[in-house]
């Protein structure tokens, strides 16, 4: 793991912070680990998802603990209802709350805001979370980019949406590619490789390494998103290089846990 990400523990909850984003000040950005929660199937796991067989009361408590790290109540949290697409929504904190007070925006994979004291959340357990911060215009974004979202250009669309909504200049943006399945572990077949080749053209050759069998490839979604962000004009992109599958003792991984994983949360807030 590079110094682009650092484990930090606060009130018993371990999170992987994004120091490259936080360095200028005015923002908090982290990805929650699996420890420090109350979900018994993961031995006190900090699961964020209602859809993985967890007790709803556990999820509520896990979410509360995570957001409390920012000193914020749950109603100051806005969460994206992920669909592996590229829709970006600018949020204000006035969105309708769900049963646990967290505000929920359906059918989108990226949230942006310029409101301080509002936590943006996308959940993941292998998919790539991308954090965006504009320290000049004071705006942020949280992006969920699995392979489908990546080839739908969701990261670049979020950059464009920040420009349109807040006047953010891409060159001012700081981006961090968060913990997710790495090129060490993310083996895919042609059903994934083909859309990658279509989207990236020749550059796909740098994203797809030979896999362990014919027709299999090791996909580098970190570099794919870094490339997209750079193409969108973002000057600084840090990659946490934290593989969820390699780091399954500390992070949830859909692949490494054979689909029985909880979900972590990528959290970013202007403070
Ligand atoms: Zn790995």
Distance 101 CA to ligand 1 centre (A): 35
Residues 6+ apart with CB under 8 A from 57: none
pLDDT beyond 90 at 17: yes
pLDDT digits (tens, 9 = 90+) for 142-168: 999 999 999 999 999 999 999 999 999
Distance 186 CA to ligand 1 centre (A): 7
Q: In the predicted model, what is the mean pLDDT of residues 193-215?
A: 97
Distance 256 CA to ligand 1 centre (A): 9
What's the whole-number average pLDDT of the chain? 96
Distance 179 CA to ligand 1 centre (A): 10
Query: Residue 167's pLDDT is what?
Result: 98
| Residue 248 forms part of a structural domain | yes
- What is d(CA 262, CA 252) in angstroms, rounded to the nearest whole number? 6
pLDDT beyond 80 at 126: yes
Distance 91 CA to ligand 1 centre (A): 34
Distance 156 CA to ligand 1 centre (A): 25
Query: Residue 3's pLDDT is what?
Result: 66
Distance 55 CA to ligand 1 centre (A): 29
Distance 241 CA to ligand 1 centre (A): 9
Distance 2 CA to ligand 1 centre (A): 14
| Residue 98 forms part of a structural domain | yes
How many domains is the chain partitioned into structurally? 1
| Residue 1 forms part of a structural domain | no
| Residue 214 forms part of a structural domain | yes
Of 210 and 99, the structure prediction assigns the larger pLDDT to 210
Distance 252 CA to ligand 1 centre (A): 12
- Pair 105, 111: CB distance under 8 Å: yes
Q: How confident is the model at residue 238 (pLDDT cuts 50, 70, 90)?
A: very high
| Residue 44 forms part of a structural domain | yes
Query: Residue 99's pLDDT is what?
Result: 85
Q: How confident is the model at residue 28 (pLDDT cuts 50, 70, 90)?
A: very high
Q: How confident is the model at residue 259 (pLDDT cuts 50, 70, 90)?
A: confident
Query: Residue 1's pLDDT is what?
Result: 46
Distance 242 CA to ligand 1 centre (A): 8
pLDDT beyond 80 at 107: yes
Residues 6+ apart with CB under 8 A from 47: 34, 37, 39, 54, 58, 59, 62, 252, 262, 263
| Residue 174 forms part of a structural domain | yes
The domain spanning residue 160 has which CATH number?
3.60.140.10
Phi, psi of 260 (to 5 degrees): -100, 25
**CA R_g for the chain:** 17
Q: In the predicted model, what is the mean pLDDT of residues 114-130?
A: 97
Distance 102 CA to ligand 1 centre (A): 32
- What is d(CA 241, CA 258) in angstroms, rounded to the nearest whole number? 22
H helical segments located in the chain: 19-22, 56-68, 147-151, 154-166, 190-200, 204-207, 221-231
Structural domain containing residue 46: 6-270
Q: In the predicted model, what is the mean pLDDT of residues 60-81?
A: 97
Tokens of 211: 């896999």
- What is d(CA 166, CA 145) in angstroms, rounded to the nearest whole number? 22
DSSP state of 203: G
- Pair 245, 238: CB distance under 8 Å: no
- What is d(CA 46, CA 49) in angstroms, rounded to the nearest whole number? 9
| Residue 47 forms part of a structural domain | yes
Distance 212 CA to ligand 1 centre (A): 14
Percentage with pLDDT > 90 across the chain: 97
pLDDT beyond 60 at 2: no
Distance 184 CA to ligand 1 centre (A): 4
Distance 1 CA to ligand 1 centre (A): 11
**pTM of this prediction?**
0.97
| Residue 102 forms part of a structural domain | yes
Distance 207 CA to ligand 1 centre (A): 15
Question: Minimum mean pLDDT among 9-13, 52-56, 176-180: which range?
Answer: 9-13
Distance 118 CA to ligand 1 centre (A): 32
pLDDT beyond 90 at 214: yes
pLDDT beyond 80 at 173: yes
């Amino acid at each position: 793991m590079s110094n682009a990400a650092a484990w930090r523990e606060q009130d018993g909850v371990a999170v992987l912070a994004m120091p490259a984003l936080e360095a200028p000040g005015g923002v908090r950005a982290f990805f929650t680990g699996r420890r420090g929660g109350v979900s018994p199937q993961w031995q006190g796991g900090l699961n964020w998802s209602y859809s993985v067989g967890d007790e709803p009361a556990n999820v509520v408590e896990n979410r509360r603990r995570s957001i409390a790290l920012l000193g914020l109540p749950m109603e100051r949290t806005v969460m994206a209802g992920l669909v592996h697409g590229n829709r970006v929504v600018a949020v204000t904190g006035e969105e309708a709350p769900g049963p646990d007070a967290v505000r929920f925006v359906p059918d989108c994979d990226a949230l942006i805001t310029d409101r301080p004291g509002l936590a943006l959340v996308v959940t993941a357990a292998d998919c790539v979370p991308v954090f965006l911060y504009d320290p000049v215009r004071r705006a942020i974004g949280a992006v969920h980019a699995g392979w489908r979202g990546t080839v739908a250009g969701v990261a670049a669309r979020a950059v464009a949406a920040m420009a349109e909504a807040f006047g953010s200049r891409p060159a001012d943006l700081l981006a961090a590619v968060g913990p997710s399945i790495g090129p060490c572990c993310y083996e895919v077949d042609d059903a994934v490789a083909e859309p990658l080749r279509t989207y990236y053209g020749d550059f796909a050759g740098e994203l797809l390494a030979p896999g362990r069998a014919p027709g299999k490839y090791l996909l580098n979604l970190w570099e794919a998103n870094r490339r997209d962000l750079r193409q969108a004009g973002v000057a600084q992109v840090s990659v946490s290089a934290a593989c969820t599958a390699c780091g399954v003792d500390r992070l949830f991984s859909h692949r490494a846990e054979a689909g029985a994983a909880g979900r972590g949360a990528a959290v970013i807030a202007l403070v």
